[in-house]
């Protein structure tokens, strides 16, 4: 079992680099924090490469991590690699797995067009997981799922649901070839009230950027568009809240 007491240790310096997307992609590794995410990773048989424990967390938890993948560190060292103000005492390095780009879908799919806020992306993925969706497909401009804020918001859902990046125009063409209806979100005269749409077993829900919504060229490829009415004085709904309402209301 490895032990590290200095924040200047080279291994710790390399781990800290994984906080940046460029380095994550180079090393094909990412960080998860906390007991819950480590437990989810173990259940999913994710390729865990190292687990760093504070002395207290190691004594209080009961994970079966091989000694050659376990590292005990001081609270100071753990704080230096944690992305939260109050670390939970556990940081794990997990290898990225090859994206599973499904060729066909039997259950609903969520499409994200340039959704940039990490919290929104993570929340929508977690909701899609809870709603029984088969996959989440991220278009250009959407947040990196290995961003620490996305990972915290997903709460391990990336271990349960297929997630991959793809050009959405091409993706939508493939979905239409499978006779899958694509529901876009837009407030216009042609859009249908979300509660008036017949529930479906298979469909793709397209959600857009927090400020600009869905790109017009993508909306033109949808089967239909829908909207959620605003009854109060708020200008709009948060995109993750809107996605949650639609995922549950459209699914049969």
Confidence (pLDDT) at 196: 95
Lay out the sheet containing 181-185: strands in order across. 162-165, 135-138, 109-112, 203-207, 181-185, 224-227, 192-193
pLDDT at 99: 79
Strands 135-138 and 29-33: unpaired
Structure tokens at 114: 């340039």
- In this prediction, residue 231 carries a pLDDT of 94
Which structural domains are found in the chain, ordered by start? 2-95 (3.30.1330.30), 109-250 (3.40.1280.10)
Please give the model's pTM, rounded to 2 decimal places: 0.94
pLDDT at 16: 97
Provide the pairing of β-strand 90-95 with 48-54.
Answer: antiparallel
Q: Which residues of the chain fall below pLDDT 50?
A: none
The whole-number pLDDT of residue 187 equals 79
Predicted pLDDT at 100? 73
Question: Distance between CA 170 and CA 164 in Å, rounded?
Answer: 14
């Amino acid at each position: 079992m490895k032990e590290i007491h200095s924040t200047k240790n080279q291994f710790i310096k390399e781990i800290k680099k994984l906080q940046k997307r460029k380095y994550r992609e180079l090393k094909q590794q990412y960080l998860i924090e906390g007991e819950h995410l480590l437990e989810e990773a173990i259940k999913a048989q994710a390729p865990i490469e190292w687990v760093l424990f504070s002395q207290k967390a190691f004594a209080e938890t009961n994970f079966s991590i091989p000694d050659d993948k376990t590292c005990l560190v001081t609270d100071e060292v753990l704080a230096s690699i944690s992305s939260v103000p109050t670390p939970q005492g556990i940081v794990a390095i997990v290898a990225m797995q090859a994206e599973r780009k499904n060729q066909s879908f039997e259950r609903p799919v969520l499409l994200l067009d340039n959704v940039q806020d990490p919290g929104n992306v993570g929340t929508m993925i977690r909701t899609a997981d809870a709603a029984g969706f088969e996959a989440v497909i991220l278009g250009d401009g959407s947040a990196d799922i290995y961003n620490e804020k996305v990972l915290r918001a997903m709460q391990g859902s990336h271990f349960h649901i297929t997630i991959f990046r793809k050009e959405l125009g091409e993706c939508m063409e493939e979905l239409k070839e499978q006779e899958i209806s694509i529901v876009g979100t837009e407030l216009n005269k042609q859009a249908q009230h979300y509660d008036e749409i017949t529930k479906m077993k298979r469909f793709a829900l397209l959600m857009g950027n927090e400020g600009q919504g869905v790109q017009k060229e993508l909306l033109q490829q949808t089967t239909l568009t829908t909207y959620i009415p605003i009854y109060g004085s708020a200008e709009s709904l948060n995109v993750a809240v809107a996605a949650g309402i639609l995922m549950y209301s459209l699914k049969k």
